[in-house]
């Protein structure tokens, strides 16, 4: 057994040496700069970690949704070319569950994260943070989760308890970080 481990260690050293020489020889790649990393470091934790400054109201969200989202998701989030975003409460245990933001998603900050990263589909990451807060507020309002006069920001969005949160369980694997 010790002999096998020694061979594996020797192979790993050789592989690392070959990789280092390839980088020197071919001049391929470089370390990313902090600014480059920051440009991609836009993920939002389920607890609201990394939510940006800004805010948005349900009223503003209604306008942005009509302009940027309704063509795919329907005027009231009922779905069209894009997924349905509204409804489905009480259907998850049925034979035909309807998974929407209001019926399925366990954390409100992940809604902000998804909208900011991926929407609108034809121009992802084009909405301002204020508009993403507003669209999030509007979608949560359509699902009956926030009031019509709600204004969301990092603190209020992170404080929302989604209806299906208790239906998710933490991943018990030791290499997974559960917050």
What confidence score (pLDDT) does residue 108 get? 98
State whether 144 and 126 are in the same domain: yes
State whether 54 and 135 are in the same domain: yes
State whether 13 and 94 are in the same domain: no
Which structural domain range is residue 160 located in? 38-167
Residue 148 lies inside a defined structural domain of this protein: yes
Residue 130 lies inside a defined structural domain of this protein: yes
pTM of this prediction? 0.78
Q: 89 — alpha (psi -120 to 50), left (phi > 0) or beta?
A: beta
Residue 80 lies inside a defined structural domain of this protein: yes
Residue 177 lies inside a defined structural domain of this protein: no
State whether 102 and 22 are in the same domain: no
Residue 116 lies inside a defined structural domain of this protein: yes
Q: How far apart are CA 63 and CA 72, in angstroms?
A: 15
The predicted-structure confidence for 29-51, as pLDDT tens digits, reads as follows 888 888 888 888 889 999 999 99
State whether 153 and 102 are in the same domain: yes
State whether 15 and 85 are in the same domain: no
The predicted-structure confidence for 76-88, as pLDDT tens digits, reads as follows 999 999 999 999 9
Number of domains in the chain: 2
Least confident span in 34-48, 52-66, 104-118: 34-48
State whether 70 and 131 are in the same domain: yes
Mean pLDDT, residues 137-147: 98
Q: How far apart are CA 94 and CA 91, in angstroms?
A: 5
Mean pLDDT, residues 136-150: 98
Mean pLDDT, residues 72-97: 95
CB 143 within 8 A of CB 111: no
State whether 46 and 130 are in the same domain: yes
**CA dihedral of residues 140, 141, 143, 144 (deg, nearest 10):** 120
């Amino acid at each position: 057994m010790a002999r096998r481990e020694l061979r594996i260690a020797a192979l790993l050293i050789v592989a690392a040496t070959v990789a280092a020489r390839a980088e020197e020889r071919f001049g391929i790649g470089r370390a990313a700069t902090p600014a480059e990393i920051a440009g991609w470091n836009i993920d939002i934790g389920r607890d609201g970690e990394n939510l940006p400054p800004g805010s948005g109201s349900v009223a503003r969200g209604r306008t942005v949704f009509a302009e940027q989202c309704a063509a795919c998701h329907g005027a009231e989030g009922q779905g069209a070319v894009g997924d349905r975003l509204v409804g489905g409460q009480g259907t998850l245990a049925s034979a035909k569950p309807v998974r929407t933001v209001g019926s399925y998603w366990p954390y409100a900050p992940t809604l902000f994260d998804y909208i900011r990263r991926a929407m609108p589909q034809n121009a992802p990451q084009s909405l301002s943070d204020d508009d993403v807060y507003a669209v999030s507020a509007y979608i949560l309002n359509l699902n009956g989760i926030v009031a019509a006069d709600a204004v969301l920001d990092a603190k209020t969005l992170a404080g929302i308890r989604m209806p299906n949160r208790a239906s998710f369980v933490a991943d018990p694997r030791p290499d997974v970080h559960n917050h």
